[in-house]
Structure 1
Amino acid sequence: MNYKLLLLSLLLFLVNSAIAKSFFKRQETEDSEVESSAAEVDGDDVNADDIEEVDSGVESEDPVEKVKEYIKGANPYLPLWEHVPDGEPKVFEYQGKKRVYIYGSHDTNRDEYCGKDQVVWSAPVEDLTDWTYHGVCYVATDGSNLYAPDVVQKGDTFYLYAAEQNGAAVYVATSKNPAGPFTDPIKTDVGFDPGVLNDDNGRIYAYWGFTRQSCAELEDDMVTIKNGTRKDNVLKHAITQWSPADGFEDPDDAFFEASSPRKVLGKYVYIYSKRYYTPQPQYGVYEDNNGFLSYKYSDEPLDNYVMGGDISFNAGELLQNDDGTRTMTYRWGNNHGSIIEVEGQWYIFYHRQTGVNEYARQAMIEPVDVAMDKNGKLFIGKITYNEEGEPISSEPVEMTSQGAHVNGLDSRKIISAGYTCHLFGGKKGGANGGEGGAYILPVYDQVDTISAPIVDITSKITAGYRYLQFGNESPSTVSVEVKALEDLVINVRVDDYQGDIIATMNLKKGDTKAQASLTKEVTGKRAIYFEFLSESDNVIAEFNLFTFDD
C-alpha cells in the first residue's frame, strides 16, 4: 500500500471539509441577514436581540465580552443606536396581550429635527425593559419631515395623527394593528404637536399648538373639528419673536409645545412643554429654558385648567447647593412626552439630548408618583407627604440611568458610558450651545452591543450613573474601556460626584482599557461616578463602557 498517497489524500479531504464548513457557516450568516432585512421591510416584529445577532457578526475576541451581557432597557430604554424623541406612551391590548407602545418622531436626519419616517417600539406591561421593534409605521404623503405624532384607539381601529411638513399639516391615518402600518391618511384641521384623548364616554378631544395652544372636540370621523367647540389659549402661551404680545403670555408658566392629554384620578390633565422666561434657581435655570414637561388639570376637557407643576426636567442630576439653589449637570434641550399607568405604577416618558444639538434625541423613562389631596389638588412628580400621608408638594423626578430598572442597573453587566445622567465639570448649558464640554457621541449602527461613548472629556469631568445594583456581595474590581488621549487618572466615586473614592486607575496616553481593585466594599443600590483628571489642558479621553467583577 502507498502510505504516502493515502496520507496526502486524507490531508486534502480534511482541508476541503474545513473550507466547506467555513463557507456554509458564512452562508448561513448571510442568509440570516437577508431574512432579517426582508422581515424588517415586510413590517414584521423584530426583537432587539434579533438585530444584535444579525449585526454583531464575528464574535468579540475580548474574553469579558464573551461571558458578559450588555445591559438592556436602561435609560435611554431603547437601544443606544435608536433616536425616538417626543414619545407618546399608550397601553393597548392587541391579540389578547397588553403592551406599551411608543409613538414618536424619528431623529434620522442628523442635521435637522426628526426624519422622513416614524417607527414603533413596544414592551409587555410586565417588563418595561424588554422592547421590541415593529418597523416603520408611517411615511409622509409628500416625503416631508414628520414631527411629533399621537395615536388613539376607537373601537377596533387605531388612529395615527401624523404631523407632516415639519408639523404644519396633520393627517389622520388608520390601522387595525397598534404597530401599524397606518394607511389612508386624511388631512385634518388639528395643528402642530397633536395630542388626542378618547374620554370615558367615547367623546374625542384634540389638543395642539406651538407657543400658542388650542383644543377642540372631534366629530365621530376622528378628523373634523366639531363646530363651536374650539378654544384657544386655555393655557398661557410662550413669548417668542413669532408670537406677538396679546395678553395671553405668562413668562413663569408659558406653554411652548408638546400637548399631551390624559385622564388621571378623574381629572383632565394637560401635559405640555413649558418654557421658563424667568430664573428658576431651584432648578439651576438662569436663562430661557424649555427642558421641562409640566402639567395643568381641570374638571372639564376644554377649559378652566389650573396650575399643576413640573414633572420632568432633562438637565441631568440637579446638584444641591448650600444656598438652596441647584446646578444642572447635563445638556438640557427641548422636551416632549407624557405619563401613563402601567401595572399600578405611573411613569413619565420624555427625551434627552445627545451630541451637540437637538437632532439626536433619545427616549427616556422614570417612575413618578401621582396623588390627590383632600381638596382635589393633583400632584404629579416627586411628591412630598406630611405626617398624615397627605401630599403637600411636588417637583420634577430625578433624571436617572436606571429608568425602568427600578432596583438599579446590574453592576456585573457591561454598561455603556452613554447611559450617564450626570456629565459635569463646571461646563454646562443647552444642547445648542452653552459652554460646551464633554458630550455623548450619537451612534446609529443597529448593533445592540454598540456603546455610545462620551467624548471631549477634559480634566475634572465626572460621568455619573444613578443607579447601579451591587447586591449583597461587593464586587472586587472595576474595569473600563477608555481611549486615553493623554496621561490621566480615573477615580471611581460612590454616592456623590465628590463621594468616597472606591478605586483609582492610572492610564498612559494610548491605553484603551484599565482595571482596578476596589478599596472599599460597595453593596446595594448606589450611584457611581467616574472622575477624570490630568495635568493636560487638552481633551484627555473618550469613555466607552465599564463593568464590575467579583
Structure 2
Amino acid sequence: MPNPYLPNWEYIPDGEPRVFGNRVYVYGSHDLAGSDRFCDYTLKVWSADIHDLNNWICHGDSFHTRMDRDHESDTSWTDRELYAPDVVERDGQYYLYAYIVGSKGCVAVSDRPEGPFKLLSTYRVPDNSAQILEEGHFIDPGVLVDDDGRVYLYCGYLSSYMAEINPDNMLEILPDSFQPDILPVDEPFGFFEACSPRKVGDTYYLIYSPKMGSRLDYATSQSPVGPFQYGGTIVDNGVDYPGGNNHGSICQIKGQWYIFYHRMTNNTVMSRRACVERISILPDGSIPQVEMTSLGFDQSLSPYRFIPADLACVLKGGCYITERNVIDRAVVHITSGCVIGFKYLDFGEDYSSKTMEFTVKVRGCGNKGKMNIVLDHSENGEVIGTCDIGADHEVIHTAVKAVTGRHAVFLVFEDEYSGYFGQFFEGRPLCELDGFVFHK
C-alpha cells in the first residue's frame, strides 16, 4: 500500500503504531478536510493484518469528547478537541491515553485493541506534583510498559517531562516520579513536542518533534528515566514538500522496521494524512535518516498501473495536493517551474522496443505550457519525453524513451510565454494533475 496508506477521505495524523497479536493498529488524531484547526472530537482506529499491509480496516470511532449522531460523549467535564493519543496493553486490557485541549486528560480502557474505549478516569495526580501534570498540559502522551511491568508516561509541549504510572490502576501518577526536561530544549535535541517511547532490545528510544517541526528526531538511553543521548533525524516531511508539524513513531512488523508519520494536504497544516517509510536500526542502535517516498509499505510502484497524483512525495514551486471530494484528489496550482515527483517506479527489465507511451490526465487552466518527464533527478535527470498542455481538461498521450529498472519520476512544468507579454502570464496555473500511467 503506497503513501498515504489509508483511503483518500481519511485524515489520521500523529499516528502511534502498535502491534497486538497478528495485527498492526494505528492510533492517532482525527483531522478534517478544510478545517481551520487541528483535530476534532473523535478518535478512530485503523488496523491491518501483519501479513497483508495492503488492506487496512477502519474499526470506527473509539472515543469522543462530543456527542455525534451515533455516540454519546465519553467526557462529562469537557467538549474540547482530542489530540495525539496512545494505546498500550497490560494484562489483556488495552489502555487509551488521551490529551484534551485545555482540559484534564484521561485514561480509558477496552478489552479489544480497536476499542471502543470506556472512560476510567482523568489522570490522578499527587497533591505535591507539578501543576503542569494536572490541567491542560498533559500534551501528546506516549506510554511505555517496560519488561518488568513498570509503566512510564512521556509528554510535553515546548518542554518535555515524564512520570511513572501506577501499574495497578494505569492512571495514577506515582509520587515523586515527575521528572522535567527528560529531553532538553537546547540543541542538538531542540525538543518541541510529540514524545513517543519505544524499547528495542535493551535500548530506550524517544521519538519526538524538534523545534524545526517538520522532522521526527530520536534520542536513546539505557534507562527509561534517562539520561538520553541525541540520535538524529529519522524523517523530515518538509524536504521538497510543503512541510508542517510531525508526529509519529517506529514499529517493527515481521522483522522490518518502519517510521509512521504524516504529511500535509489542502495547502494547510491542518489536513494531515498518515504515511510510513521503511527504516533500519543499525547494530549500534542508530537510525539513518530516510527520505520521503511514494512507497508506503510497498517496495516499488508499477508505472504500468495508474499513478494517482496524491502519491507525489515531491512538490516544489507552490503546487499542492487538495481534495476535490472524498474520492478525487489532484495536485493543483501548477505553475511554470513546479516539480511533482514520485519515488520509486520499477519499469522492469528486458524491453526490446526503443519507445513506450505515457498517458497523463490533467485539467487545463486556460494557459499554454509543457510537461517534461524526467528520471532520477528533477534538475539534471534524463528527460525521456515531453507533453504539451492545452487549455482544456484532457487526457494527453505521448511517446517517451523506453527505460528499465527502478527510477524516481519527476514531472517538470514550463509555460510557453515569452517576450514582453510573457510577464503578464507569470504565476498563472497551467493545469491540475490527476495522475498518469506508462504503457508498452
Say whether residues 1:92 and 2:20 are aligned partners: yes
CA distance in 2, matches of 1:415, 1:177: 36
Q: In the TM superposition, what is the alpha-carbon distance from 1:372 to its structure 2 partner?
A: 3.1
> 1:114: which partner in 2?
39
Correspondence for 2:182: 234
2:304 is paired with a residue whose SS is coil
CA distance in 2, matches of 1:79, 1:545: 16
* Structure 1: tracts of 5 or more residues without a match: 1-72, 238-249, 276-288, 317-328, 383-395, 426-436
Aligned to 1:400, the other structure's residue is in SS state coil
Residues 107-256 of structure 1 correspond to what in structure 2 (within 5 A)?
107-108=31-32, 110-140=35-65, 141=75, 142-164=78-100, 166=101, 168-188=103-123, 189=125, 191-219=138-166, 220-237=168-185, 250-256=186-192
User: What amino acid sits opposite 1:451 in the alignment?
Assistant: D
Aligned to 2:128: none
Secondary structure in 2 aligned to 1:418? helix
C-alpha displacement at 1:167, in angstroms? Answer: 6.1
Determine the structure 2 residue equivalent to 1:413: 305
Q: For 1:413-449, what per-residue CA distance to the aligned partner results, in whole angstroms no more than 9, with x for missing partners?
A: 2211111111113xxxxxxxxxxx211113552xxxx
Match of 2:69 in 1: none
Deviation at 1:510, TM superposition (A): 1.1
Structure 2: distance between partners of 1:259 and 1:458: 38
Matches within 5 A, 1:362-381: 362-373=273-284, 378-380=285-287
Structure 2 counterpart of 1:440, from 302, 307, 321: 321
Structure 2 residue aligned with 1:65: none
Query: What amino acid sits opposite 1:363 in the alignment?
Result: A
8 Å CA contact retained: 2:362, 2:393: yes
Against the structure 1 CA distance between its residues 297 and 167, is the aligned structure 2 distance closer, same or farther, given a 3 Å change threshold? farther
Which one has a bigger Cα radius of gyration? 1
Q: For the structure 1 residues 473 and 544, does the alpha-carbon distance in structure 2 shift closer, same or farther, using more than 3 Å as the test?
A: farther
Which of the pair is proportionally richer in strand?
A: 2
For 1:291-440, list aligned pairs within 5 A.
Answer: 291-316=214-239, 329-373=240-284, 378-380=285-287, 382=288, 396-406=289-299, 408-425=300-317, 437-440=318-321
Instruction: Give me the identity figure in percent.
Output: 39
**Matched-pair contact (CA < 8 Å) for 2:361–2:394:** yes
Shift of 1:473: 5.2
Letter in 1 for 2:276: I
Cα distance 1:199–1:443, how it changes in 2: closer, same or farther (>3 A)?
farther
Contact 1:487 1:507 in 2 (8 A): yes
Q: Is residue 195 of structure 2 the alignment partner of residue 262 of structure 1?
A: no
Q: Aligned in 2, Cα 1:167/1:204: closer, same or farther, shift over 3 Å?
A: farther
Gap runs ≥5 in structure 2: 66-74, 126-132, 418-424
Deviation string, structure 1 residues 433-492 (Cα, Å, up to 9, x no partner): xxxx211113552xxxx3321111101211000111222255821111101111221111
Given candidates 431, 436, 440, the residue that maps to 1:546 is: 436
The alpha-carbon distance between structure 1 residues 134 and 196, as it changes in their structure 2 partners (threshold 3 A), is: same
Higher normalized helix content (fraction of residues): 1
The alignment covers a number of residue pairs equal to 401
For residues 202 and 457 of structure 1, do their structure 2 counterparts lie closer, same or farther at Cα, with a shift above 3 Å needed?
Answer: same
2:388 maps to 506
Separation in structure 1 between the aligned mates of residue 298 and residue 408 of structure 2, nearest angstrom: 14
> What's the C-alpha RMSD, in Å, of the aligned pairs?
1.6
Tell me, what secondary structure is at the counterpart of 2:310? helix
Corresponding residue for 2:363? 483
Alpha-carbon distance in structure 2 between the residues aligned to 1:182 and 1:89? 17
Residue identity in the other structure for 1:123: A
Which one-letter code corresponds to 2:362 in the other structure? V
Q: How does 1:448-467 map to 2 (within 5 A)?
A: 450-467=327-344
- Kept after mapping to 2: 8 A contact 1:147/1:167: no
If the length of structure 1 is used for normalisation, what is the TM-score? 0.71
Aligned to 1:101: 25
Find runs of 4+ consecutive structure 1 residues off by over 3 angstroms. none
Contact 2:188 2:230 in 1 (8 A): no
**Contact 1:146–1:167 (8 Å) recurs in 2:** no
Residue of structure 2 equivalent to 1:529: 410
